[in-house]
């Protein structure tokens, strides 16, 4: 089909050659002409067409430095953590982008945010007023719909910028569906069957605003965000052998708010000072009811958390080939969580059910970038982090942690087409406050997972080498090899309720006794390692008779080792994907004003090793064809079939009578949820 359509359009299609990128000091500059054939509507559309660049939206860890994505706007990182980077880039019209720079390995005066590749969106100067109105709807196979409305506006003039956006949207849970549940004994004999039917949906509303203006010879920016989400999930399992009916009802509500302030000023022709302040507040309420007559289990969790960040950075460019940066960051984080769990009306005590956790953290840093020749770039730095964590309530503790985090990146570009990158770094993960509180897996055959405030952050020594080859203006291929050596790996460990254990002759509790009450929770399990190989490529298809065609893909393979805290055996890290891949084909046909393609996200598998069960989740390959019509540069209509292959989600579980090191296997369970295709339609109109 692709070949036939392409040959028919070959004569009508314009020259597919893209405007070449300009290369200076390790920075590739891509002008609007490079993207013209794709008719991008937003800066994010342009980012997705960059050769050899894979978008990283950042992470939700606490603090500012560790949460960075890999895209800057006018050389600066957005002063927000809760407003995701992709949404920010989608609010920038392509008509306002002067160019997009891709920095590989480092460049003087560019904060690489801890990445080896950064994209920098450079906006046009001058006055402008732009806006967007978008409407969309998702049609679910069972008759449900998820409409959405997006409104955006930006006004620039006299050095000032005013931005605003509002989105209200429905959504559905693509991890729910209908399908069989089968339980077997250890010999493989079926002991029970059920038909599962489940659905999840909700709505969210988010509003953002920002104002930027000159102040005292510098530039001041303030931004804000409000977010609300309500999600409902329901499941009904009808068992054919036991005649039981199991029902699960879940409701979650989240409210988030954020205010960010940033002030930057040049202290001289080569020196710049920047300070920022961010305040976040979040709250969530979760309720679950699980019934298998005559039994009933109730679980609820309410949590409130906040984060306050202050950061100052001083940058100095000694020359066009040498620059330095230093500064510091302080943060205060807190969490208040209350958990309730009962079985048949009888409250069940949970470890760390009600806790208040506080973290005070400070970091100082310094780094330098030196380009001794046009072919070589060196970037080195050191961060020193100190924190004090305290907990009150069901768990009372206080501890102080200090870590040094050195980093070295060497980039060698023997010519304009080839580049080698070497990275040596010590990373220290930030503790996830979600690990400090309890959660529930009752509905999937599991139990309550308790929290653990007494966690140390996971540390890793990383050695990475990458080779990138660029070709045909739009083409590239990158191979990356990484090795990790871990300390204090965070994985799944058992939590023993000591008061429930029998006493040994000496009066000490027997923590290995089968009668002890145990819960699963996150914990530090010692040392570990991981090897990973990643392949990323962009292949223009014009030379293969497909004008305007582009094939993008990436694949990764991971092999890791840790010691299981229950059995003492070597295994993979819980939740790690052994391999991932995705492949996207697109074709721009300017003569018809359309862009069409197919996205395929490869199936993945992840396994969790809990003290009394092993759970494996498999998601099949997800394929979504689409076509977008752009009758005018400012108007587009998108039609997409999501999950065209009706992929399913499979959950396999092995249940043991107790800890896996001395308890027999008692049951095996398979749950398969089949998902049907969804139809997504979006109409978007830009102004200005």
Position 437 scores a pLDDT of: 73
What pLDDT, in 10s, does the model give residues 160-184? Answer: 999 999 999 999 998 888 999 999 9
Q: Minimal CA–CA distance to 655: which of 672, 669, 675?
A: 669
Which residues are registered as beta bridge partners of 610? Answer: 613
Mean pLDDT computed over 11-17: 36
Which residues are registered as beta bridge partners of 200? Answer: 233
The answer, yes or no, to whether residue 129 has pLDDT greater than 80, is yes
Tell me how many domains the chain contains: 1
Mean pLDDT computed over 257-285: 94
The answer, yes or no, to whether residue 602 has pLDDT greater than 60, is yes
The CATH number given to whatever domain includes residue 636 is: 2.40.170.20
Mean pLDDT computed over 197-206: 95
Q: Which distant-in-sequence residues (6+ apart) come within 8 Å of 262 by Cβ?
A: 76, 79, 220, 221, 222, 274, 275, 276, 277
Position 506 scores a pLDDT of: 85
The answer, yes or no, to whether residue 561 has pLDDT greater than 80, is yes
Position 290 scores a pLDDT of: 93
Position 13 scores a pLDDT of: 35
Using only C-alpha atoms, what is the Rg of the chain? 27
Cα 602-642-57 angle, rounded to 5 deg: 65
Number of residues written out for the chain: 688
What confidence tier does 459 reach under pLDDT thresholds 50, 70, 90? very high
Burial bucket for residue 345 (CB in 10 Å: 0-12, 13-18, 19+): exposed
What pLDDT, in 10s, does the model give residues 427-453? Answer: 988 777 777 776 666 655 556 677 788
What confidence tier does 140 reach under pLDDT thresholds 50, 70, 90? very high
Mean pLDDT computed over 482-488: 96
What pLDDT, in 10s, does the model give residues 44-80? Answer: 888 888 887 888 876 554 456 555 678 888 888 777 7
Q: How far is Cα 64 from Cα 277, in angstroms, rounded to an integer?
A: 10
What pLDDT, in 10s, does the model give residues 237-267? Answer: 999 988 889 999 999 999 999 999 999 999 9
CB atoms near residue 240 (< 10 Å): 12
Position 1 scores a pLDDT of: 36
C-alpha count within 13 angstroms, C-beta hemisphere, residue 466: 25
What pLDDT, in 10s, does the model give residues 668-678? Answer: 999 999 888 99
Position 113 scores a pLDDT of: 66
What confidence tier does 37 reach under pLDDT thresholds 50, 70, 90? confident
Which parts of 177-255 fold into alpha helices (H)?
none
3-state secondary structure of 66: helix
Averaged pLDDT score across all residues of the chain: 88
Written as six digits, the tokens of 114 are 């801890």
The answer, yes or no, to whether residue 501 has pLDDT greater than 60, is yes
Tell me the residue range of the domain where 458 lies.
2-687
Residues 122 and 101 sit within 8 Å (Cβ to Cβ)? yes
3-state secondary structure of 7: helix
Q: How far is Cα 263 from Cα 114, in angstroms, rounded to an integer?
A: 22
Written as six digits, the tokens of 47 are 């980012």
Mean pLDDT computed over 97-112: 78
H helices, E strands: number in the chain? 4, 38
Q: How far is Cα 336 from Cα 327, in angstroms, rounded to an integer?
A: 31
Q: Which distant-in-sequence residues (6+ apart) come within 8 Å of 140 by Cβ?
A: 146, 172, 676, 678
Burial bucket for residue 448 (CB in 10 Å: 0-12, 13-18, 19+): buried
3-state secondary structure of 556: strand
The answer, yes or no, to whether residue 664 has pLDDT greater than 60, is yes
Q: Residue-wise over 206-236: b if at least 16 C-beta within 10 A, else e?
A: bebebebeeeeebbebbbbbebebebebbbb
**pLDDT greater at residue 431 or residue 133:** 133
Q: Give the H/E segment covering residue 90.
A: helix 85-90
The answer, yes or no, to whether residue 512 has pLDDT greater than 90, is no
């Amino acid at each position: 089909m692709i070949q036939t359509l392409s040959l028919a359009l070959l004569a009508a299609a314009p020259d597919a050659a893209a405007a070449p990128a300009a290369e200076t000091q390790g920075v590739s500059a891509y002008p609007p002409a490079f993207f013209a054939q794709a008719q991008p509507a937003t800066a994010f559309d342009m980012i997705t067409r960059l050769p050899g660049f894979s978008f990283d939206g950042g992470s939700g860890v606490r603090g500012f430095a560790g949460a960075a994505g890999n895209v800057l706007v006018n050389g600066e990182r957005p002063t927000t953590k809760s407003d995701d980077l992709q949404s920010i880039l989608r609010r920038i019209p392509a008509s306002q982008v002067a160019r997009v720079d891709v920095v590989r390995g480092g460049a003087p005066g560019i904060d690489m945010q801890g990445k080896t590749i950064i994209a920098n969106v450079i906006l046009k100067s001058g006055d402008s007023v732009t806006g967007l109105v978008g409407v969309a709807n998702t049609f679910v196979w069972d008759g449900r719909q998820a409409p959405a409305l997006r409104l955006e506006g930006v006004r620039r003039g006299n050095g000032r910028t005013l931005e605003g956006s509002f989105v209200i949207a429905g959504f559905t849970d693509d991890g729910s569906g209908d399908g069989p549940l089968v339980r077997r004994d250890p010999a493989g004999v079926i002991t029970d069957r059920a038909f599962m039917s489940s659905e999840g949906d909700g709505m969210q509303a988010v509003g953002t605003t920002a104002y930027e203006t000159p102040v005292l010879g510098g530039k001041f920016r303030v931004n804000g965000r409000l977010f609300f989400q309500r999600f409902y999930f329901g499941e009904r399992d009808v068992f054919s052998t036991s005649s039981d009916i199991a029902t699960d009802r879940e409701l979650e509500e989240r409210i988030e708010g954020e205010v960010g302030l940033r002030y930057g000023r040049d202290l001289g022709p080569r020196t710049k000072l920047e300070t920022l302040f961010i305040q976040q507040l979040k709250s969530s309420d979760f309720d679950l009811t699980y019934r298998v007559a005559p039994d009933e289990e109730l679980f609820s969790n309410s949590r409130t958390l906040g984060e306050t960040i202050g950061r100052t950075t001083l940058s100095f460019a000694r020359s066009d080939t040498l620059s330095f940066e230093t500064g510091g960051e302080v943060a205060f984080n807190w969490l208040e969580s209350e958990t309730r769990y009962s079985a048949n009306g009888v409250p069940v005590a949970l470890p760390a059910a009600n806790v208040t956790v506080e973290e005070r953290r400070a970091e100082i840093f310094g780094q330098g970038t030196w380009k001794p020749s046009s072919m070589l770039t060196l970037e080195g730095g050191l961060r020193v982090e100190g924190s004090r964590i305290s907990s009150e309530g069901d768990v009372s503790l206080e501890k102080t942690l200090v870590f040094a985090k050195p980093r070295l990146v060497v980039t060698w570009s023997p010519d304009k087409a080839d580049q080698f990158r070497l990275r040596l770094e010590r990373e220290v993960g930030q503790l996830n406050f979600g690990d400090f509180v309890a959660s529930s897996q009752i509905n999937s055959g599991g139990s309550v997972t308790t929290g653990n405030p007494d966690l140390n952050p996971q540390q890793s020594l990383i050695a990475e080498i990458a080779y990138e080859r660029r070709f045909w203006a739009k083409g590239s291929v990158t191979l990356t090899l990484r090795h990790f050596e871990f300390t204090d790996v965070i994985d799944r460990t058992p939590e023993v309720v000591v008061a429930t254990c029998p006493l040994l002759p000496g009066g000490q509790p027997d923590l290995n006794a089968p009668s002890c009450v145990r819960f699963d929770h996150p914990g530090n399990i010692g040392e570990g390692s991981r090897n990973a190989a990643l392949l990323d490529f962009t292949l223009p298809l014009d030379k293969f008779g497909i004008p305007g065609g582009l094939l993008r893909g990436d694949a990764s393979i991971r092999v890791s080792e840790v010691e299981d805290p229950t059995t003492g055996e070597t295994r993979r890290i819980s939740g790690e994907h052994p391999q991932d891949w995705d492949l996207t084909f697109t074709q721009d046909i300017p003569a018809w004003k359309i862009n069409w393609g197919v996205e395929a996200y490869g199936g993945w598998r992840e396994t969790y090793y809990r003290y009394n069960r092993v759970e494996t989740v498999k998601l099949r390959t997800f394929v979504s064809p689409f076509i977008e019509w752009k009758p005018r540069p400012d108007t587009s209509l998108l039609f997409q079939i999501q999950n065209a292959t009706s992929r399913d989600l499979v959950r396999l579980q092995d249940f043991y009578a107790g800890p896996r090191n001395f308890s027999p296997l008692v049951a095996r369970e398979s749950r398969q949820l089949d998902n049907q295709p969804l139809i997504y339609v979006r109409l978007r109109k830009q102004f200005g």
